[in-house]
Each structure stands twice: as structure tokens, then as C-alpha cells.
């Protein structure tokens, strides 16, 4: 029997027990974990080693995060398609989230409960298959005393979430109710989701949002999974993550 290909994760300067808090996810996915101290050699390390996931404390005085993201996302980088998670110290989550449009995948707060932190990065650890989907999605975003309704076009869908193209952008963590239709179906898929990132306009060439499903009503989860497994076409570009 052929041995499984090693899955490498790099932990850099994870503060306040951050590494231990994400450990259950990493153990479940059987990652080969490399924990290092922050320094300038990180740039050479990510360019020369094919990491599948990077978990980096934020902020770190030893690291220029724009330079780090550029190094990871260079075409010749061995870690080009790695998921990049920023573990933000209390008070720095908003600054970490500002790096999502330029190439980071998730910004999570060390002040969050473990369960919320795990949900936020779970699909980067075990990337669910994605299928292309062109459908209109109606999003109802809660506003003071009411809901505001917005329209998006779905780009791809998986059992864990959806990538949306549209002009209205919301901050990561924003919840919304949604409805969309799968091809050849009249009954909409309905549920509740949460924004996890804004689309990277440079890499994905679109304006929009990545969202994670919080709940799929009735048999929506089964129908989405069936579509991905049986009806979906090609998956999205390997560098595109929700």
C-alpha cells in the first residue's frame, strides 16, 4: 500500500497557547506540524517548502505581514495554495482582518471560544470539494430592527459554504439568512451563513464574499452534497478558498 502524502502545517509565533488550541484540528487531519519562532527566514521557508496550512500569530514585530503574504502567494512559491490563518491577540482582530483581501484566508481572535475558532478554520484543514454553481442567492442581513436584502451570484459551492460575487461587502463574522436554487430544482436551498472573508480581487478577479454555512434547513444539506458529488463540474482554481 502506498503511503499517504504528508500534509505539512507551519505554526509561527502562536501566542497565549494558540498552537494548543488549534491542535485538535491538526491532529484530526494528521498534519506533520512544524513550529518555529518568528524571524525573516520564514519567507524562505514558505517559498521552499510545500505547506498546506500556515498558522501565524498576529501581530509579530519580527514579521512584515505584507511581505509574508507576498512570499506565500508568489507563483513560484511552494506554498502558493496554502491556507493562511492569522491568530490575532485581543485588540488586533480588525487589523488582522484587513489582511484578508490581500491573501490571508482567515483571521481569528484568541478571545473567541475554541468551538468558534475551530469552525472558522475547519474547512481550511479539511478542504471540502467544491463545484461550480451559477445561481442567484438572496441574502437577508440583519439591520437594526429589520433586515436588508442583497442579491449575489454564486460562484462555487461545497457542503461547508459558498463563494459569492456581488458589490455589497460585509465584515467577516457577519451572519445572514440566504436562499438559492440548484440547477433543475424548484425548491430553494435555505439556511443561515456567516461571512468568513472578502474575495481577493487580484487573485480571484472578482468582488464578493466567502461564506460558511451555519445551518441548512430541511434537506438542503443533502441536496447540496449530492450536487457537489454528482452534479458539479470542475472545481475552482486551487488558489481559491473560502
Q: Report the relative pairing of strands 189-198 and 131-132 from DSSP bridges.
A: unpaired
The pLDDT assigned to 206 comes to: 81
Percent of the chain surpassing pLDDT 90: 31
Secondary element (H or E) of residue 164:
strand 161-165
Sequence spans of domains, the chain: 7-125, 131-231
Domains 7-125 and 131-231 belong to one CATH topology:
no
pLDDT band at 176 (very low <50, low <70, confident <90, very high): very high
Q: Is 209 helix (H, G, I), strand (E, B) or coil?
A: strand
Nearest partner of 235 among 165, 161, 155, judged by Cα: 155
Q: Output the pLDDT for position 30.
A: 64
The pLDDT value given to residue 1: 36
With cut-offs at 50, 70 and 90, classify the pLDDT of residue 11: confident
Q: Across residues 184-208, what is the average pLDDT?
A: 82
CATH fold for domain 131-231 = Thrombin, subunit H (2.40.10)
Q: Which CATH architecture describes the domain 7-125? A: 3-Layer(aba) Sandwich (3.40)
Between residues 198 and 224, the one the model is more confident about: 224
At residue 114, what are phi and psi to the nearest 5 degrees? -55, -40
Helix, strand, or coil (residue 237): coil
Predicted pLDDT at 236: 39
pLDDT digits (tens, 9 = 90+) for 138-157: 999 987 667 799 999 999 99
- Report the distance separating Cα 13 and Cα 96, nearest Å: 15
Q: How confident is the model at residue 234 (pLDDT cuts 50, 70, 90)?
A: very low
Beta bridge partners of 161: 212
d(CA 225, CA 160): 9
pLDDT of residue 66: 93
Q: Given this model, what pLDDT does residue 239 score? A: 42
CA 6, chain centre distance (Å): 21
**Cα–Cα–Cα angle for 149, 139, 220, rounded to 5 degrees:** 145
- The 3-state secondary structure of the chain, one letter per residue: CCCCCCEEEEEECCCCCHHHHHHHHHHHCCEEEEEECCCCHHHHHHHHCCCCEEEEEECCCCCCHHHHHHHHHCCCCCCCCCEEEEEECCCCHHHHHCCHHHCCCEEEECCCCHHHHHHHHHHHHCCCCCEECCCEEEEEEEECCEEEEEEEEEEEECCCEEEEECCCCCCCCCEEEEEECCCCCCCCEEEEEEEEEECCHHHHCCCEEEEEEEEECCCHHHHHHHHHHHHCCCCCCCCCCC
Cell numbers found for residue 17: 497557547
pTM of the complete model: 0.60
What's the rounded mean pLDDT across residues 224-242? 60
pLDDT tens-digit series, residues 29-87:
567 778 788 887 889 999 998 888 888 999 998 999 999 999 999 989 998 888 898 99
Amino acid at each position: 500500500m502506498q503511503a499517504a502524502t504528508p500534509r505539512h502545517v507551519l505554526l509561527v509565533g502562536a501566542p497565549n497557547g494558540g498552537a494548543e488550541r488549534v491542535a485538535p484540528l491538526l491532529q484530526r487531519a494528521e498534519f506533520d506540524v512544524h513550529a518555529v519562532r518568528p524571524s525573516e527566514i520564514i519567507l524562505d521557508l514558505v517559498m521552499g517548502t510545500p505547506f498546506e496550512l500556515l498558522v501565524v500569530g498576529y501581530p509579530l514585530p519580527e514579521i512584515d505581514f505584507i511581505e509574508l503574504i507576498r512570499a506565500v502567494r508568489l507563483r513560484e512559491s511552494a506554498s502558493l495554495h496554502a491556507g493562511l490563518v492569522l491568530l490575532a491577540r485581543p485588540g488586533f482582530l480588525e487589523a488582522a482582518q484587513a489582511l484578508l483581501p490581500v491573501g490571508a484566508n482567515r483571521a481569528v481572535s484568541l478571545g473567541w471560544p475554541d468551538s468558534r475558532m475551530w469552525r472558522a478554520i475547519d474547512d481550511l484543514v479539511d478542504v471540502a470539494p467544491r463545484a461550480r454553481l451559477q445561481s442567484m442567492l438572496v441574502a437577508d442581513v440583519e439591520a437594526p430592527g429589520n433586515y436588508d436584502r442583497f442579491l449575489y451570484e454564486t460562484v462555487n459551492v461545497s457542503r461547508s459554504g459558498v463563494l459569492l460575487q456581488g458589490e455589497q461587502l460585509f465584515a467577516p463574522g457577519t451572519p445572514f439568512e440566504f436562499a438559492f436554487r440548484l440547477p433543475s430544482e424548484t425548491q430553494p436551498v435555505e439556511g443561515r451563513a456567516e461571512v468568513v472573508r472578502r474575495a481577493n480581487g487580484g487573485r480571484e478577479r472578482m468582488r464578493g464574499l466567502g461564506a460558511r454555512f451555519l445551518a441548512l434547513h430541511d434537506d438542503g444539506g443533502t441536496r447540496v452534497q449530492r450536487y457537489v458529488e454528482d452534479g458539479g463540474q470542475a472545481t475552482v482554481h486551487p488558489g481559491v478558498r473560502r
